[in-house]
Structure 1
Amino acid sequence: MKILITGANGQLGSELSDVFKDRTGYELFFLDRKQLPLEQTNLIQDILGMYQPDLIIHSAAYTAVDRAESEPILADQVNHLASEEIAQYCRLHDVKLIAISTDYVFDGNSANPLNEDAAVAPINTYGETKLQGELAIQKWAPHYIIIRTSWVYSTYGANFVKTMIRLMGERDEISVIADQIGSPTYAHDLAQAILSILESDKWENGIYNYSNEGQISWYDFAIAIRDIKGLHCKINAISTEQYPTPARRPKYSLLDKSKIKTTFSVDVPNWKDSLQKMMYKL
């Protein structure tokens, strides 16, 4: 099977490279932003045609959530219009598509874990562009799986875990938001889940949720990072209102993973177990 993976140098793209390393039966093409410039939407189908994949894993995205508020056109080109071009290519050539989306398609007003049928209502530009990408994929791609995930981190790239380790090493005291609730996702676990889907010999179109098990706040996450690392920085819990950002964040975006577990027998580790594994690797 020929698989093309976008976002080669991103957190998930890098983890997918690791996960596929020892697998046989796959011919893999990892494309970075230079090889596949998603903002140049007129080039996308021609570039994909050079590789003629059987399946595309679309993990590339514009993920600078705050910057998207001042760059809405670029965010839309990358997250929405590029996804539409990829989906149209899949329709023209009967290619399967696995695309990564986000918990930011929700408004954060729920009090219960969100399943795939929960109402979407993004409260920032990033979430809106990702939702439009989802809708374009559902419209055009004949064989699609959209995986919504949240709070992604990895040994690769920049992320919350690495930022916290750096700040706690530099400062005696930091403040972290305690009233945004969800669950982190170790990108290596998500890569394993994608592999499980491919090797399940089952394909069911639709949207699926994937994050690690458990319910925490960013503050809880920071405390765990500090304790695993054995640091002594004081961490203060603050509210969202005390840390204003250009883009609003959903207050609650915990994902219900029942569907992906039932459909594809995907393993979903607890967030703390995965965090320990990642930090040990780091």
Structure 2
Amino acid sequence: MFNTIKILVTGASGQLGQCIQKVEMNYEKFDFYFADSKELNITKKGEIHDLFSNKQFDFVINCAAYTNVEQAEKNPKKAFEVNSEGVKNIAEVCKETNTTLIHISTDYVFDGQKKSPYTEEDIPNPINVYGKSKLMGEIFVQEILDEYFLIRTSWLYSEFGHNFFKSILKKSSVEEKLTVTISETGTPTNANDLAKFILDLIGMNTLDYGVFHYSNLGEATWFDFAKEILKHSGKLDTIKLEKTDNYAIFADRPKYSVLSKEKTVNIFKNSILDWSESFKKIKKG
């Protein structure tokens, strides 16, 4: 017999939460409890306390986040409530209950001025409200807890939720021309790969706590990613795809936000697919 590891997944209706649910049956010794925002509002500490008082968890995977970068500029209060204060609430309850927190953060904590991949030691300097709110959440985790895994990722997509992959598929079904920016470079990351990495990390029973970067390998512009999406869906020859370096957006975004995975690979010995290889595995629209 093995000891069951009890895991709470917050933000369970988001794309990463759904990707974890998709692969949960592959982890027999894990006992999952999935909570979406209706069941658990992380901005209300009392709700977290109530859940923890009824159930004991070994790990919390915090997938709950306010991720709309554009709307965050217009509603910073909401962004900070969820991405900062909500994270603080979770961290405090994790400390009280001796629960290990796995918190998901973002490449947008960096300003994009660097010309080479960002390491975990690089100093964050977010240039939009979303990034600032996520950085504040990171700071709370690091100030409150000793045992945590803070995982920064980038450009998440999957067959679930709202993301660039699904947006391009939707637009390509109703429009004849798509104009996509080349002014940002990052790494599209298959949320299914991230979900597996997180669960494998728990299974390792490692004490190598701290900040880690996880995305797929390689780099691309949003235009490059759009081209792969159209190729994958068989629409590249029927849609006119154009580049632009002057795309109208409300929130500033980092021009370059590729994350270095060297520390992650060295410590956890995991293999990471190139973004274009991983993308080939995604379900077609």
TM range (shorter): over 0.9
Alignment counterpart, residue 76 of structure 2, candidates 72, 76, 84: 72
Instruction: Give the alignment of 1:153-232 within 5 angstroms.
Output: 153-231=157-235, 232=238
Give runs of ≥4 in structure 1 deviating > 3 Å.
Answer: none
- Give 1:246's aligned residue: 250
Q: How many residues align?
A: 279
Instruction: Give the alignment of 1:21-32 within 5 angstroms.
Output: 21-32=25-36
Q: Distance in 1 between matches of 2:67 and 2:122?
A: 23
Deviations 1:133-157 (A, max 9, x none): 0000011123100000010001111
Shift of 1:221: 0.4
Q: Bigger shift: 15-24 or 96-105? A: 15-24
Deviations 1:63-117 (A, max 9, x none): 0111111211111110011111111111111110100000000001110011101
**What is the CA RMSD across the aligned residues, in angstroms?**
1.2
Q: Distance in 1 between matches of 2:80 and 2:143?
A: 17
Shift of 1:42: 4.3
- Give 2:91's aligned residue: 87
The answer (yes or no) to whether the contact 1:56–1:96 under 8 Å persists in 2 is: yes
Alignment counterpart, residue 243 of structure 2, candidates 234, 237, 241: 237
Q: Distance in 2 between matches of 1:43 and 1:165?
A: 37
The reply on whether 1:37 has 2:41 as its aligned counterpart is yes
The amino acid of 2:200's aligned partner reads: S
Shift of 1:204: 1.1
- Using the size of structure 2 for normalisation, the TM-score is 0.95
Q: Distance in 2 between matches of 1:248 and 1:224?
A: 25
Q: Distance in 2 between matches of 1:82 and 1:50?
A: 20
Percent identity, aligned pairs only? 38
The answer (yes or no) to whether the contact 1:196–1:266 under 8 Å persists in 2 is: no
* Structure 2: runs of 5 or more not aligned: none
Shift of 1:47: 2.8
Q: Distance in 2 between matches of 1:222 and 1:48?
A: 42
- Using the size of structure 1 for normalisation, the TM-score is 0.96
